[in-house]
Chains A and B, each alone.
Chain A
């Protein structure tokens, strides 16, 4: 059968120590037996490693941060689309998702398909709304309060013991052992990610995660559970292994069923010594370790693109247990010309 030719635009090519899911996403789709893919890399910074990785992207375009205005970002995408005719766009950053969700119809009318959570799904799983989310969908979540100012730290101390997790709305999390550390974390996080800052009960246990894909009708199209084996000081998985854990799978399926989740997601869970699972975060996109799912037998990136194109995808239920990923760093040697072109022309 002839492969379907598509042009795919992807963000998140920052394969740094805080990696985005763009590169593994592209890697997964390139392995699809059904697609002949032309890749348009969308980058925010001119040093995102994905720009310089040979054979990864056919074109690269720099785009403005969503913080510089929703219209500016969307107009840039429309400009790129006039040159490249994008079939599918996969945004991979939490901070840009809102803008893309708001403009889904506008982009669709120009032939750009996406497969994103609905605004309601996106908002109700936000970190500062997690306690209500847990109650609504019957999932254990850590107790948390939203800090709008330094003054609330004393109020927080009345409600839970140290250590506490101090988290930003989109990124960043610090484990704080006393009031001073909470203050420091609050200041760091609020300066970068704004308010509220979330103070969350610290749950002791093993960090386990699930990458999953929901079809928007309550069905789980794919799901692979993983345990982080090596964690960086930024809390990112540098090594992980797929698990055989029915409880995690059932929890995932029940959440996707309950929320009718549409799109990729990452469930971040803590498994306590007593075997209980606490949901500490739900990321509304696939994680940077999504290629582990591909390696274990579920090409979630490919399935996501198919769903975006309105194609039918049969749920994938099997995966290889005990498959591991080990991340590595690698120095790309780059000619100054390439850096100069992306810096000056904003495209390659």
Chain B
């Protein structure tokens, strides 16, 4: 009977254990940015009561790939707007959930750049989209489409967030059905449209709506045309074909 050679697991396990033990040390070190803000900001005294919780949130998020600078930015924003400490703490807890959620979605699709500045920009942008009304499944759909395309991770993730930003804007203006936002964003990501051309879809929707078509139908046409490799002209032709105007 042939003996089955077992893979060399022990070194990997050891590495994993080492990472688990070293991670808190890393977060403790990285939590220094928030601590530095509390030490240096003139508004810090007002927020002294939420310092421990904020440092804990930042350290916890940093362990999951979220740069601490995002918390410093939110702290500074809150202080500038004179947000009461309790409300700011509550907002930071929500932020931590959004930041770590976006970071996880990016990391699972290998779209989280290693550079803190770039990853921070993406996580910030993603969390803004969630605050503006995008849902996690919408974000996941757009990032899935981006992950399947070629190019640099940062550029692909930015394209996905731009596309989702457009659908958030379309939803605010024309009320897209909830199931359509992620699909439309994914179709835009996959299409050959340049990022600067995304906004033209707002004009396309305005044309469709003013021609008497429903938002659902315009979105459906746009998804079909973009997925089949067409552009505005093909969307326009499909809309004209369906226009009925009593």
Q: Are A and B part of the same complex?
A: no
